[in-house]
Amino acid sequence: MNPDCILELPNDLRSIERAVQYLMDRGRDAGFDRERLRLNFRVGVSEALANAMLYGNGRDPAKRVRVEARISPDAITVRVTDEGRGFNPETLPDPTLPANRVSAGGRGVFLIRKLMDRVEFNERGNSITMILLAERERETGS
């Protein structure tokens, strides 16, 4: 990805909302679907940032989270990278199974996968790349 926006965030949950709002504003200014920004983009990026800060960086205030984004009217690509050791996303249980529905956690990556159009992790598992397509691009591709 050749990013046109790079953010270096402190490992502070309070920075999530501002960063996500900034990226949503950039998407809106670029002419991306407002509805998909409001739900799909907001949830996907917020969850990725929270996971990076809580689990990737283990709440360590000395660590940082890097956000790279490429924004166009047709698609937004966002990569979130933490300084942690990474994890294996394939081992996550399905939170919608009846036995898991009563669990307090485990829905973040699930929601990212449901709401973004493409989701990839790097081999180490400390970097997630998410692509959200504009509605018309999804229709063209289907």
Kindly list the residues in this chain that would bind other proteins in the complex (CB under 8 A). 13-14, 16-17, 38-39, 42-43, 46-47, 50, 54, 95-96, 101-105, 107-108, 110-111, 114-115
Nearer to other proteins by C-beta: 35 or 120? 35
Q: Which parts of the chain are beta strand (E)?
A: 5-10, 64-71, 75-81, 118-121, 127-133
Smallest separation, CB 96 to other proteins (Å): 4
Tokens of residue 55, six digits: 């689990």
Nearer to other proteins by C-beta: 17 or 120? 17
Nearer to other proteins by C-beta: 1 or 18? 18
Smallest separation, CB 78 to other proteins (Å): 16
Nearer to other proteins by C-beta: 46 or 72? 46
Smallest separation, CB 109 to other proteins (Å): 9
CA distance 37 to 114: 14
CA distance 37 to 82: 23
Smallest separation, CB 132 to other proteins (Å): 15
Q: Are 140 and 132 in contact (CB under 8 A)?
A: no
Tokens of residue 56, six digits: 């990737």
Secondary structure class of 29 (helix, strand, coil)? helix
